[in-house]
Structure 1
Amino acid sequence: MENVFVLLLGFPGVGKLTIARELGSLLPARVVDNHWINNPILALLDDDGRGPLPDAVWEHTAKIRQAVLDTVTTLCDPSGNFIFTHSGIQGDIRSLTSYGQMRKAADLRGALFMPIRLLCDEAELVRRVVSPGRRDRLKSIDPEAARNRSQTATVLEPEDQNGLTFDVTAISAEESARTIYARILDRASS
């Protein structure tokens, strides 16, 4: 399978990167985690992973994301597969802009674009967000923020015929990757 763009959407702690790594070995594909894009900016801040970040942070990360996507569309092997992760929120303009950037890059490559929404129940999300190693990767570790997000927000819901939404609360990353891979095979053959 060639020239596939997978976009894993879900709240912090849902397991986007873990699932992306599993899926990356099935496709195979390069994984472009949202923290590849965010961390050059986040590393410069005195952030403890528990408080809100200044809004201007996201303006800067958008520039990095665009540079990454420009590289993917102009310099990378046209047959290459990519898996992106994103913490998109329904109704949030920044989330929609980020989604649009990734969708446009897929379109420029003529890639099969697969937005995948990963859902997780609140208690499990809170448990996962405080797991060891997240802070080392400059990820959010605030259980209250995870709880609040779960209660007041919705994972970005793009309208796309290739999309898939499923709950990963009680299934492994390997099983999640196999589910996504089956969807990719199905859509690629349509």
Structure 2
Amino acid sequence: PLLWINAFPGTGKLTIANELPALLPEHSIHLIDNHQMIDAKITLQRRIAIPHDHLHRCSCIDFQSDNELGAQVAQEYKTAAREAGRPFLPIYLECGLVENMRRMTHAQRVSSGTGKLVDVEMLADMRSRCRLYRFEDIVGLNVDVSGLEAREAAASLACLIREWEQSEK
């Protein structure tokens, strides 16, 4: 399946996604970080089209809001999954604003040199003006990670992914 993880910047998407392989050892997980994609659409199609088998998950982390552009980009993930013959599972990570701001200013994020957003005022403004994009036609997973460390959030998510996979059989 293609696991599409959508959350506001600083929520912990990458940190949580990096914990999943150890918690889901029965499957390999290929992680696609939107910060590493130069030509997003071409990269997405190529990387999701990795030979598909049921022992291989593809996990994409992203932030898309509920505006027109966010909806368009989110649909590209869904289309790429369909074209690759993969089931598509949207995952929405929620995080309270205060905790989100704390995580955004964590020393590891600030010093990472990845170009990730670290401006808490910009985050607060963004969160006041928009919401996460959510697919209306697909049931996704919702996980509130506010009070959870990355490993705990990933463990909760791994259980939900397993339940979803069982329901898809």
Q: What is the alpha-carbon root mean square deviation over aligned residues?
A: 1.7
Distance 1:95-1:67 versus aligned 2 partners, 3 A rule: same
Pairs within 5 Å for 1:122-141: 122-135=97-110, 136-141=113-118
Distance 1:161-1:187 versus aligned 2 partners, 3 A rule: farther
Mapped partners of 1:181, 1:110: distance in 2: 22
Partner of 2:157: 180
Mapped partners of 2:22, 2:51: distance in 1: 18
Mapped partners of 2:105, 2:30: distance in 1: 26
Q: What TM-score results when the alignment is normalised by the length of structure 1?
A: 0.77
Partner of 1:153: 130
Partner of 1:43: none
Report how many residues are paired: 160
Mapped partners of 2:74, 2:138: distance in 1: 15
Look up the SS of the partner of 1:84 in the other structure.
Answer: strand
Partner of 2:46: 71
Partner of 1:36: 36
Task: Name which of 48, 56, 59 aligns with 1:83.
Answer: 59
Shift >6 Å, 4+ stretches: none
Counterpart contact for 1:9–1:85, Cα < 8 Å: yes
Mapped partners of 2:157, 2:32: distance in 1: 17
Partner of 1:17: 14
Look up the SS of the partner of 1:157 in the other structure.
Answer: coil
Alpha-carbon shift at residue 73 of structure 1 (Å): 4.5
Counterpart contact for 1:118–1:165, Cα < 8 Å: yes
Alpha-carbon shift at residue 69 of structure 1 (Å): 2.1
Task: Name which of 69, 72, 87 aligns with 1:97.
Answer: 72
Alpha-carbon shift at residue 189 of structure 1 (Å): 1.5
User: Structure 1: any 5+ residue segments left out of the alignment?
Assistant: 41-63
What is the percent sequence identity of the aligned residues? 27
Task: Name which of 110, 113, 116 aligns with 2:88.
Answer: 113
User: Structure 2: any 5+ residue segments left out of the alignment?
Assistant: none
Counterpart contact for 2:32–2:58, Cα < 8 Å: yes
Alpha-carbon shift at residue 84 of structure 1 (Å): 0.4
